[in-house]
Amino acid sequence: MTMTDADVLTALRDAGAILHGHFQLTSGRHSDTYVQCARVLEDPALTTRLAEAMAASVTGQRIDVVAAPAVGGIIIGFAVAQALGVKFIFSERQQGAMAFRRSFTIESGQRVLVVEDVVTTGGSVAEVIDLVHAAGGVAVAVTSIIDRGGAKAFNAEYVPLLQLEVESMEPQNCPQCAAGAAIDSPGSRRLL
């Protein structure tokens, strides 16, 4: 199943997932736009469509395992693994660093697709890729619903469903901070 950029953007807008204000992103950067993919993932049928499109984007690759960073990647990662018919695992923060917990394992040589909901810098994705490599696996590709643009902290093949260029900046360069605007931090990094 394929979804066009317009299909994905319409789904995000219809779900109320594109928010405007003053936000601190999971990466620590600031932006006036935040994509709350959890709003899209409330709809199981839409989640399945997105996951099937993400799975189709890696057709031709042998995938043994899907791995995702908690919290944002868990739902869509599971759905992509289901679409591919493979095992699903996720990483969690343990003492500030990503780790595979809950007895999750990757066997030596297994080919892993890393799945995330939204990628800005890709810091969490890079941490998952490092875990895959440390376990002896091969990170064959990364996919996400949204790529917010900019340089990435990983160099694996990257096939997002939608490129949504949204400006983000370091806090010291944020005009909304300079104006004293209140900030919201809806990401999941500080939850764990």
Structure tokens at 125: 């994705």
Q: Flag whether pLDDT at 166 surpasses 90.
A: no
pLDDT digits over 62-72, tens only?
999 999 999 88
Say what the alpha-carbon torsion angle 131, 132, 134, 138 is, to the nearest 10 degrees.
-160
pLDDT digits over 122-144, tens only?
999 999 999 999 999 999 999 99
Confidence of residue 192 (pLDDT cuts 50, 70, 90): very low
Global pTM value: 0.87
pLDDT for res 1: 66
Query: How far apart (Å, rounded) are the C-alpha atoms in residues 9 and 7?
Result: 6
Query: How far apart (Å, rounded) are the C-alpha atoms in residues 24 and 168?
Result: 9
The distance between the two most distant Cα atoms of the chain, rounded to a whole number of Å, is 52
> Which residue ranges form the domains of the chain, and what is each CATH number?
5-191 (3.40.50.2020)
Cα of 163 vs its chain's centroid, Å: 13
